[in-house]
Amino acid sequence: MRWWEKSWRQLEDALEECDVAILPVGSVEQHGPALPVGADYLASWRIAEAVAERAGVPALAPVPYGVSAHHKDFPGTVYVSPEAFKAYLRDVLYSLWEQGVRKLLVVNGHGGNSAVLRELALEARIELSMTVLVAEWWHVSAELSLFKPEERHHAGAEESSLMMHLAPELVDESLIVDGPLPEAAPVSEVKTTGEVTKTGVIGLAKTASREKGERVFELVVSKLAEVVEKMKRGELGLP
């Protein structure tokens, strides 16, 4: 069920029955030569809609732009500051709360958004008694053990596989390349992506396949649908 396709009367009825909703959040940033720049928001959107369908709750339209200034060396990257991202999403959360949403599953498609989303989840909990759970597909799919750690980086094999499954028409498989692996260091030096990789790819990507992407997608959707069922039954989040 898509929130934006419903009338206000339909949403009034739906929210009276169930106070759970799903919000996909992504980013528009370079994903190497083979993947579209919208990979993160596409993934979060498609996962959110499939979970909403399975669990019978509304999914909102995705928030496309995220915290990804570190990719700005590459054409096509459109980012917002962490401050703007937080202020914008806080308003979205507050208006959802005003509409009667008390439990929100945020499906985040981009690691750069994580820190702000965690801050917001805590603020919503303290200020509104609203439960905001943050789901990130790559954490859910880790249990599959389908990919080695070096295949699970930015635009790597796992992410490429997911895109090949979700939007094969947007992936040029002939351009999938491996990138450098992140160096292990006792201290972290925060660099732009352009300093680390010339193609935008980090780690191994050539082992990507549509079949693996389908397995990742199916696992993530079924796990998150279980989460939403628990939210609906009051077994997860604030009472």
Residues that bind Zn ion (CB under 5 A): 39-40
Q: Output 21 or 39, the one with its CB closest to Zn ion.
A: 39
Question: How far are the Cα atoms of 93, 158, 238 from residue 139, in angstroms, in the given order?
Answer: 23, 12, 23
d(CA 9, CA 113): 33
Q: Output 39 or 133, the one with its CB closest to Zn ion.
A: 39
Contact 37, 31 (CB under 8 A): yes
d(CA 171, CA 166): 10
3-state SS, residue 80: coil
Kindly state the smallest distance separating residue 40's Cβ from Zn ion, in Å.
4
Kindly state the smallest distance separating residue 118's Cβ from Zn ion, in Å.
18
Q: Output 39 or 176, the one with its CB closest to Zn ion.
A: 39
Q: Closest residue to Zn ion, Cβ-based? A: 40
Residue 164 dihedral angles phi and psi, to the nearest 5°: -65, -35
Kindly state the smallest distance separating residue 6's Cβ from Zn ion, in Å.
30
Q: Output 40 or 178, the one with its CB closest to Zn ion.
A: 40
How does DSSP classify residue 122?
Answer: H
Question: How far are the Cα atoms of 32, 41, 114, 214 from residue 211, in angstroms, in the given order?
Answer: 21, 21, 28, 5
Kindly state the smallest distance separating residue 123's Cβ from Zn ion, in Å.
26
Q: Output 32 or 58, the one with its CB closest to Zn ion.
A: 32
Kindly state the smallest distance separating residue 150's Cβ from Zn ion, in Å.
16
